[in-house]
Amino acid sequence: MRGRPSLHTRYEADSAMLPTATQRLWFVVGLLAVVVLPLWLPRDWMILIATAFIAAVGVIGLNLVTGYAGQVSLGHAFFLGIGAYAGAALGGVATDKVIGLGLDVIIWVPAAGVIAGAIGAAIAPVAVRLKGLYLAILTLGLVFLGEHLFREWESVTGGPGVGRKPGSLTLFGWHFDQDGTVGGFAVTREQQVYWLALVVLLIMGFLAKNLVRSKIGRAFAAIRDRDIAAEIMGIGLTRQKVLAFAVSSFYAGVAGALLFTVTGFVNTASFNLLLSINYIAMVVIGGGASIAGSVMGAAFLTLLPRMIDAAGNVLPFLEVGSTGLLSTSQLERVIFGVLIVAFLILEPMGLYGIWIRIRNYWKAWPFSY
């Protein structure tokens, strides 16, 4: 096979995580760049990128159920909320208003995922009976029921307007959320949170990639493409759909648990329909049925406000405040809405699809194919 590295003669080689040498090389280079980046980044950018990493975990989860298994869920905010509060209750500090067990991060992050996953699996039997748009409406209802639950369950959530602190990032006595020193080097709180988020994303991304290239992933795709055909091929629809919901909710739980450790505050109003739409938008803009696309979508939409802020300093009509046509935050919302519409009409494969097109163009260059 020497000299023909793209020729795969075995299934293992064909379905490898990074099938070509070029991909492996660039993955390592990119990873190194991302790892050393916080040594120079300003603090606010580190926070932003760490948020993007954690959001990417949630987006991967939504992509598993929506992009791969084809079940549209508008209820992701609900599961993010479950994860956030499960994490906060297990890993947070108890006060006179809210409960908190103060466990280690290695316990409460997976536990938050498992709790969210269990609730996802409990709801799934209702969901798997439904198809298409009925499912979308059901999961939309879930968000409103969740919001009500979070408002009322004050011993866990702190109640509306009050909120609470999320779980504290303590691993075997080491505090990620405080500045410290490692081997003589001073590391800031932001740097540690950044690296922690990166590690979580790598683990969860690796697991998801493995899932989707396995038998289960192929079953998900078969259900998405034609559920009746999938059933005839011997795929248990109920079983696989419940599994898809459970895994997706697990990812949402982990993401939700960590998402608010960056800002250090969980508010009950955060888990609304807009958050769900945000995640759906990240899947759509990043690219459905693609792990790399999920990360791209999460990064793009998390960094979008900063880019628009920067543009607002240049463009005169975007004045902040009531004098301008729209404030920058409102403009950001409008652009967000327009992006969803534009991507669905013009590029249904999302950013990942654009990347594939560019890559294929240069692969064949100077020929057109």
Partner 1 sequence: MTQFLQATVAGLSLASIYMLLALGFVIIYKSMRVLTFAHPAVMLFGAYMVSWLAIDMELGFWVALAGGMVAAGVLGWVAERVAIRPMVGKPLFAIAILTLGLDIAIRTPINNLIGVNIRSVGDPWGFGTWNVGSVIIQHRSVAMIAAATIVGTLLLVFFRYTRIGLAMRATAADQEVALAQGISVGRIFSLAWVMAGAMAALAGTFASSDLSGLTQSTYLVALKALPAIVVGGLDSIGGAVVGALVIGMAEAYTATYQGQYVAFLGGNFSQVIPYVVLLVVLLIRPYGFFGTKEVERV
> What residues line the site for partner 1 (CB under 8 A)?
66, 70, 72, 74, 126, 129-134, 136-138, 140-142, 144-145, 147-148, 151-152, 228-229, 232, 273-274, 277, 280-281, 284, 326-327, 330, 333-334, 336-341, 344-345, 348
**Helix (H/G/I), strand (E/B), else coil: 129:** coil
Which positions ≥6 away from 74 have C-beta within 8 Å?
136, 139, 140, 142, 143, 273, 276, 277, 280
Q: Smaller CB distance to partner 1: residue 244 or 257?
A: 244
Q: Smaller CB distance to partner 1: residue 77 or 198?
A: 77
- The verdict on whether omega for the bond into residue 19 sits within 30 degrees of 0, i.e. cis, is no
Q: Smaller CB distance to partner 1: residue 164 or 189?
A: 164
* Shortest Cβ 77–partner 1 spacing (Å): 13
Q: Smaller CB distance to partner 1: residue 99 or 341?
A: 341
Q: Smaller CB distance to partner 1: residue 136 or 202?
A: 136
CA distance 4 to 6: 6
CA distance 339 to 320: 22
* Shortest Cβ 331–partner 1 spacing (Å): 8
CA distance 212 to 208: 6
Eight-class DSSP state of 327: -
CA distance 272 to 289: 25
- Tell me which residue of 306, 286, 303, 284 sits closest to 294, measured CA to CA: 286
Q: Smaller CB distance to partner 1: residue 105 or 277?
A: 277
CA distance 145 to 161: 18
80 and 278 Cβ atoms separated by less than 8 Å: no
* Shortest Cβ 262–partner 1 spacing (Å): 24
* Shortest Cβ 152–partner 1 spacing (Å): 4
Q: Smaller CB distance to partner 1: residue 112 or 142?
A: 142
* Shortest Cβ 71–partner 1 spacing (Å): 9
Neighbours of 234 (CB within 10 A): 7
Q: Smaller CB distance to partner 1: residue 3 or 161?
A: 161
* Shortest Cβ 99–partner 1 spacing (Å): 18
* Shortest Cβ 332–partner 1 spacing (Å): 9
CA distance 62 to 248: 6
* Shortest Cβ 12–partner 1 spacing (Å): 33
Distances in whole angstroms, Cα of residue 248 to Cα of each of 123, 143, 345, 354: 12, 16, 26, 26
